[in-house]
Amino acid sequence: MHVLGHLTVEEFLRDYWQKKPVLIRQAIPGFEPLLAADELAGLSLEDDIESRLIIEEGKTGAWEVKKGPFTESDYRALPENKWTLLVQAVDQWVPEAAELLEHFRFIPSWRIDDLMISYATDGGSVGPHWDQYDVFLLQAEGQREWRVGQMCSEKSSILEGPSVKILADFTENERWVLEPGDMLYLPPGLSHWGISQGECMTYSIGFRAPSTAELLERAIDSALPTLTEDNRYSDASLSLQHSPGEITADAAARLKSLLVDALSDPALLKATLGQLMTEAKYEEQAPTFDTSEQGWAETVSALQEAEQWTRHPQARFAYSINDTGAAFYCQGEIVNLPASAGKSLQVLCDEASYDSQSLIEAFDDSHLKTLLTSLVFCDLIVPV
């Protein structure tokens, strides 16, 4: 059964994606938590794993936020109720969590960010807030009441004091109680407030949504090496101005045209997205993509040691097809390849796991052999 339940992918994308919320009852019927609450708390004790505790009535005031790693004594000091544990990127540490994300690849895979798991005691909440990205909220255990309110922006008023953004004004429009297996989709900017009814766990599937500032900075960085001293502001269509000191609308239009032309190459724009969206979430922990000095014979030998291979949990792949060839993006890097590599790259980026013999046969071009060798020996694909 598809996680969209009664909706087709086409209906969801047309009517709901980035438009309005939708509740899907029993998106995953009979869903069982991937790990117990104490196992989730165990992850929060690890130095490499990002975690937070949000206590509604903390010692330092309302909505106290503490950042992990935590200790067992931190948990013993918590109040009985009204606190929430949030553990980020569980898919990078729990294989079953990574498998769960495969259900959401009806959205381009390079848009998917991570799976966050929250555990809350009775009344636990992170307060009324909004996110700047799409999110699917899958109820894993217990019950959580979700209240949905108004659309928000950076201009929306937030409470002074708490280190987490809590809306000063929340206008409730709808309310639902989710049971295990139920899922709520929320578009960016929509205010929401989840309150646990008893102990519960909720899985949040979030998506990457870089700001225009981030995208523009990257696009400019990509465009600069392609520009020469001959690329200059010009005004061959200049006419006599009433005031010679005025910068006119025509001048602004010429500048706009100059900048648009500099950033109009589709391959450059695809590379901007590809490199930015495949950067590792935690760069210091993830494997890096680099050229391997190993030969093809060593690659074949390594691949034949296991029948099935998969992406490293912290590896991110994407590809594009351009007029002049193909491009592969991995960990923020780009590899330019012949257009004939497109089908092999599609398999590499779309599939969750790979048969070793099929990889050997599909990557038979010299450029692809070099790529596959790097992926194997940089541990970006690993044995299952």
Nearest CA to 125 out of 61, 168, 66, 81 is that of 81
Give residue 76's identity as a one-letter amino acid code.
Answer: R
- Mean pLDDT across the stretch 77-101? 97
370 pLDDT exceeds 80?
Answer: yes
User: Would you say 327 and 335 are in contact if contact means Cβ atoms under 8 Å apart?
Assistant: yes
- Mean pLDDT across the stretch 370-380? 98
pLDDT tens readout for residues 12-41: 999 999 999 999 999 999 999 999 999 999
61 pLDDT exceeds 80?
Answer: no
Query: Taking the model in full, what pTM does it have?
Result: 0.94
In the chain, where the domains are located: 9-207, 296-383
Only one residue has tokens 């099935």, namely: 308
Q: What percent of the chain has pLDDT over 90?
A: 95
User: Would you say 70 and 45 are in contact if contact means Cβ atoms under 8 Å apart?
Assistant: yes
pLDDT tens readout for residues 160-173: 888 789 999 999 99
Mean pLDDT, the chain, rounded, equals 96
Q: According to the CATH classification, is domain 9-207 in 2.30.31.10?
A: no
Distance of CA 200 to the CA centre of its chain: 24
Residue-wise DSSP of 41-99:
HHHTTSTTS-EEEEEEEETTEEEEEEES---HHHHHTS-SSSEEEEE--GGGT-HHHHH
Q: What is the pLDDT of residue 59?
A: 79
1 pLDDT exceeds 70?
Answer: no
How far apart, in whole angstroms, are the C-alpha atoms of residue 65 and residue 349?
Answer: 37
Q: What is the pLDDT of residue 60?
A: 77
Give residue 82's identity as a one-letter amino acid code.
Answer: K
Residues with Cβ < 8 Å from 307, sequence gap 6 or more? 355, 356, 357, 384
Q: What is the pLDDT of residue 33?
A: 97
Element holding 158 (H helix, E strand): none
How far apart, in whole angstroms, are the C-alpha atoms of residue 307 and residue 314?
Answer: 21
Longest dimension (CA), the chain: 78
Which fold, 296-383? Answer: Malonyl-Coenzyme A Acyl Carrier Protein; domain 2 (3.40.366)
Q: What is the pLDDT of residue 287?
A: 97
pLDDT tens readout for residues 311-364: 999 999 999 999 989 999 999 999 999 999 999 999 999 999 999 999 999 999
pLDDT tens readout for residues 253-299: 999 999 999 999 999 999 999 999 999 999 999 999 999 999 999 99
Element holding 275 (H helix, E strand): helix 266-277
Q: What percent of the chain has pLDDT over 70?
A: 100
Q: What is the pLDDT of residue 155?
A: 94
62 pLDDT exceeds 90?
Answer: no
How far apart, in whole angstroms, are the C-alpha atoms of residue 384 and residue 371?
Answer: 20
pLDDT tens readout for residues 190-229: 999 999 999 999 999 999 999 999 999 999 999 999 999 9
How far apart, in whole angstroms, are the C-alpha atoms of residue 359 and residue 375?
Answer: 12
- Mean pLDDT across the stretch 89-93? 97
Nearest CA to 249 out of 261, 269, 235 is that of 235
Give residue 352's identity as a one-letter amino acid code.
Answer: A
User: Would you say 354 and 310 are in contact if contact means Cβ atoms under 8 Å apart?
Assistant: yes
